Amino acid sequence: MLREIDNFYLQKDEPVKGCLLFLRNYILNYDKNITEAWKYGMPFFCYKGKMLCYLWVHKKNRMPYLGIVKGKQIDYPELIIEDRAKIKIMLFDPAKDIPVETIDNILRAAVALY
């Protein structure tokens, strides 16, 4: 039987599914202290047990995104806050290459806050 977290990814259509699965794998392999958890009905990634980031699909434009829990403390042009209080997100166009160098920089800044 599949876990809810696995179903989240498998229920998506391509190319969103492929983008999210790549991001999942990339984040989990970024640092050995990052673990995956199912919180608030979405896939979260924790750093040493504390919520670091999550993956989701934007309701309006249907683009996958990476949400950074302490995003307000990180200044990166690719991160947008919209109407959130603390979390900033980075949107991804699933039809384009994923900017891994930018993700590295954002994850490095996010992990440094812990």
**pTM listed for this prediction:** 0.94
Handedness of CA 67, 80, 10, 95 (dihedral sign): negative
**CATH number (domain holding residue 99):** 3.90.1150.200
Domain around 56: 4-112
Handedness of CA 1, 38, 42, 66 (dihedral sign): negative
Q: Domains in the chain: how many in total?
A: 1
Selection from 61, 58, 53 nearest residue 103 by Cα: 53
* Residue pair 28/21 in contact by the 8 Å Cβ criterion: no
Handedness of CA 49, 22, 58, 96 (dihedral sign): positive
Q: Note down pLDDT in tens along the chain; length 114 residues.
A: 789 999 999 999 999 999 999 999 999 999 999 999 999 999 999 999 999 999 999 999 999 999 999 999 999 999 999 988 999 999 999 999 999 999 999 999 999 999
Q: 3-state DSSP call for residue 4?
A: helix
